[in-house]
Structure 1
Amino acid sequence: MAVSVNEVEVLKEHFLKVVERSEHLSTNVNEIIYPLLGFIILTMDEQSDIQVRSGDTETGNMLWFTTNGKRYAFRYEADEQSIVIRKGNFTGQLIAKVNNSTSTHDLKIIFNQL
């Protein structure tokens, strides 16, 4: 079940868990997660929430946010060593795959096109 994040403390708690997991299990995304979160916060629609789901389920380690009236899902894909961005939900249209080799400039372009 997804949890809405509308308080900084809740977001911080979730993000600290993501950072911890990335440092141990997914070192190909342990750096990109910082600017990624920044772009999510800066571009999310007013009056919308970030939603998160953690865990080892099929849909675990996911985050959703809305920008320009459209919802996007972010999910770490271990087999691809990347964070996958999809429109709508985790089976939606593939928007991008990002990892530590993705520059902040490229990330900015991705978010400008959402």
Structure 2
Amino acid sequence: MALQAEDITTLHQYAQGVMTRAEHHANTVGSIALALMGAIIWRADKGTIRIRQSAKGLANMLWLEINGKRYVLGYNHADETIELKDRSQTGSILYTFSNTTPVTDVESIFRAL
């Protein structure tokens, strides 16, 4: 089940969870996650951000639409990267991000979506 993220409170809660989890077991993506959150807020169509919920709260998977096309961002535990996928969590991987990804790449990738 996913929660519609329509306000800063929900996005703040999501960002806190992502950063806390990054500190504990995903230290390869914490910095780039901040850049991705900015890109999400900048480019997402209004009312399209949805965040996966689990029994523990908001999880590391987010759906959004840009220009009417759906994308999914999720953490890949095996590769320790954040993946941007086409349409669904099982969709084609379009890009992968880690702390080694230049922030300028995040901007150009999201600008082109």
Fold match by TM threshold 0.5 = yes
Aligned to 1:72: 71
Shift of 1:54: 4.1
- Structure 1 residues 1-114: aligned runs within 5 Å: 1-45=1-45, 47-55=46-54, 60-114=59-113
By percentage of residues, which structure has more helix?
2
Task: Calculate the aligned-residue CA RMSD, in Å.
Answer: 1.4
Identity %: 32
- Alignment-mate amino acid for residue 93 of structure 1: S
Instruction: Check the 8 A contact 2:50/2:62 in 1, yes or no.
Output: yes
**What's the secondary structure of 1:18's corresponding residue?**
helix
Determine if contact 2:5/2:47 at 8 Å carries over to the other structure.
no
Q: Which runs of 5+ in 2 are unaligned?
A: none
The alignment's TM-score, normalised by the length of structure 2, stands at: 0.91
**TM-score using structure 1 length:** 0.90
Q: Unaligned 5+ residue runs, structure 1?
A: none
8 Å Cα contact 1:2/1:52 also seen in 2: yes
The aligned length equals: 110
